[in-house]
Structure 1
């Protein structure tokens, strides 16, 4: 397969200055290590899920891919024309509440499809509604007049208006009810298959990642701790952090769950991350070696790597 998106050595640091507030006053310049040396590739028509707790750097990776942030170092390569669109977590904040849904779908066409006249744009909007299973009468409605699940379908339709090759899905189901999530996940699967789309999925919802992802990237405090084929990572997690994430997911029969590996303590500050393995301050298996050099990613199985001294 041909890689549509590749990242190598991707790093993003933010600078905090002492005059930025009372907590930093007198401390000079400090650095937030949001993303450090992240690499991945996404083949055409595939989905890469980036998972981890809040603050792990996954949303920063999405912003770097979208061009909303510039990397401190490293590269992002997009094959062919850079056609990437975002589907945000909160559809209510993504749309102008004072404008109709028809207006929201017409605007990107005016920008990206200047070859279309008013009649051509109207035809394209009808196609977008059909693709996302929305009725034509929605065009005259306002965002407040439809449900959250329907509104998220509108944001997907708007993203598709620019005919992207890649969609960045930033927690696309996090604000939706469980009953609505299944329909939206099915829609995303159908669109990927029918239109040949490539997805970067940012999520903390393991169940959604299981349904959508072909490959998984597990991040902790800016570092990739495990990556590989989704089934391999989810069924045979090698890194203690990945195991803890999976252990946090409810199961139908808790009596059949394996021995839990609970997370303890708080996520350290990205301004002053731990030396060596950044997960060591919360890891139940940490040893003296973990405080030394950062562990390299090693092969656990074909296409499955983990960065842990215990697996080296």
Structure 2
């Protein structure tokens, strides 16, 4: 059994990791940590885990010592030293934060502040979006796990980009997120009275995920693809709905698009291309590692409209981290992740 530790286990992503790891046939949770709840059992923080995970939150060093793989579900800026320690001890480190996602240190400093603790360490990190970079993840000791928007948008656009079916300028990503995407620590923007019965954009054209999405799309296209990104908060707990707009190249048909998407995703266990006329819906991916994609063409204006739906806590965080762990250790990629969404 692989011994897995979770640092930051009482945050939303950390608690979701525990939920998924408990159902994994090849994993045993060895230790968990939490700065806010050290000395308390996880089941005290989340009563739903009573009898399933009563582990006490300990310190980060103990988690590293007891584990073969360490998941860090922490805010940006807190993972680099932990990753260094894991590297020195020969442990696998999967970072759910942003510390290893961006390749350019100047870009990281501009959007997140600070810099790279070790450029050599950053050069060893694999970007953990399996459907696009699977071969680079296998066997790696350090994986940068993408977040929610940075998973949903590239998956929605990848086949059109790789198939040279769309123009690379004027791309718009219009994305809606459930409130868990803001983390467990409450803020005025996530207060129930402010979110309930409301619907608003935030960080318009100024969100930290923008350069990460552009980095991924640039790898697919072989050149820079600037995007206009507008995120919104939905008054729901879970879900990302990413509606992506792009200009089609002259003469490209909806049939060609569908063929390209089917060819790229037909063997992907977690990507479901919806039939013509259907629209991706976050309710159909809840609690699952699926990404549903629906394709639409505005023929009058020559526009591709690709819509993806994921659960931001699973495919957009913890589920993808488990998927990456499976790749790193040579397990079946679907192990522990084939749970179905509830039907209603």
TM-score (norm 2): 0.24
Determine which structure has greater relative contact order: mean sequence separation of CA pairs < 8 Å that are 6+ residues apart, divided by chain length: 1
TM-score (norm 1): 0.26
Higher Cα radius of gyration: 1
